[in-house]
Structure 1
Amino acid sequence: MSHGKQFTLYTHDRGPNGWSVAFALQELGLTYESVFLDFQKGEHKAPEFTKYNPNGRIPALIDHHNNDFVVWESNAITQYVVDKYDKDRKISVAPGTEEYYTQLQWLYFQASGQGPYFGQVAWFSVYHPEKVPSAVERYRSEIKRVLGVLEGVLSKREWLVGNKATVADFSFLTWNDAAANFLLENFDFDKEFPATAKWHKRLLERPAIAQVWAERAKAVQKQH
Structure 2
Amino acid sequence: MSHGKQFTPYTYTTGPMAGWKVVFVLEELGLTYESVYLVFDKLEHESPEYTKLNPNGRIPALVDHKNGDFVIWESDAILLYLVDKYDTEKRLTVTDEKERYSLIQWLFFQASGQGPYFGQAVPSAIERYRKEVLRVFSVLESVLSKQEWLVGGKPTIADFSFISWNHVAINFAVKDYADVQKDYPALFSWHQKLVSRDSVKRVFAIQESLNKH
TM-score range, shorter-chain basis? Answer: over 0.9
State the Cα distance separating 1:182 from its structure 2 match: 2.2
State the Cα distance separating 1:2 from its structure 2 match: 4.9
1:192 aligns with 183
SS in 1 for 2:66: coil
Q: Return the alpha-carbon distance in structure 2 between the equivalents of residues 36 and 203 of structure 1.
A: 24
The letter for the 1-side match of 2:52 is: K
TM-score, scaled relative to structure 1: 0.90
Q: Return the alpha-carbon distance in structure 1 between the equivalents of residues 121 and 154 of structure 2.
A: 31
**Following superposition, which runs of at least 4 residues in structure 1 exceed 4 angstroms of deviation?**
none
Q: Return the alpha-carbon distance in structure 1 between the equivalents of residues 189 and 88 of structure 2.
A: 29
SS in 2 for 1:33: coil
State the Cα distance separating 1:185 from its structure 2 match: 4.8
When residues 190 and 92 of structure 1 are mapped into structure 2, their CA distance, relative to the original with a 3 A threshold, is same
Q: Return the alpha-carbon distance in structure 1 between the equivalents of residues 80 and 191 of structure 2.
A: 21
Q: Return the alpha-carbon distance in structure 1 between the equivalents of residues 94 and 204 of structure 2.
A: 24
1:130 aligns with none
1:151 aligns with 141
The letter for the 1-side match of 2:98 is: E
State the Cα distance separating 1:208 from its structure 2 match: 1.2
2:150 aligns with 160
1:70 aligns with 71
State the Cα distance separating 1:47 from its structure 2 match: 0.9
The letter for the 1-side match of 2:180 is: F
Aligned residue pairs, count: 211
The letter for the 1-side match of 2:20 is: W
TM-score, scaled relative to structure 2: 0.95
State the Cα distance separating 1:122 from its structure 2 match: 2.6
Deviations 1:53-84 (A, max 9, x none): 11111110000011111111110101100001
When residues 209 and 69 of structure 1 are mapped into structure 2, their CA distance, relative to the original with a 3 A threshold, is same
Q: Return the alpha-carbon distance in structure 1 between the equivalents of residues 37 and 2 of structure 2.
A: 16
Q: Return the alpha-carbon distance in structure 1 between the equivalents of residues 13 and 139 of structure 2.
A: 28
SS in 2 for 1:82: helix
Q: Return the alpha-carbon distance in structure 2 between the equivalents of residues 59 and 192 of structure 1.
A: 33
1:45-60 correspondence to structure 2 within 5 Å: 45-60=46-61
Given candidates 140, 146, 156, the residue that maps to 2:130 is: 140
Contiguous gaps of at least 5 residues in structure 1: 126-132
The letter for the 2-side match of 1:29 is: G
2:13 aligns with 13
State the Cα distance separating 1:181 from its structure 2 match: 2.0
SS in 1 for 2:83: helix
Given candidates 187, 190, 205, the residue that maps to 2:196 is: 205
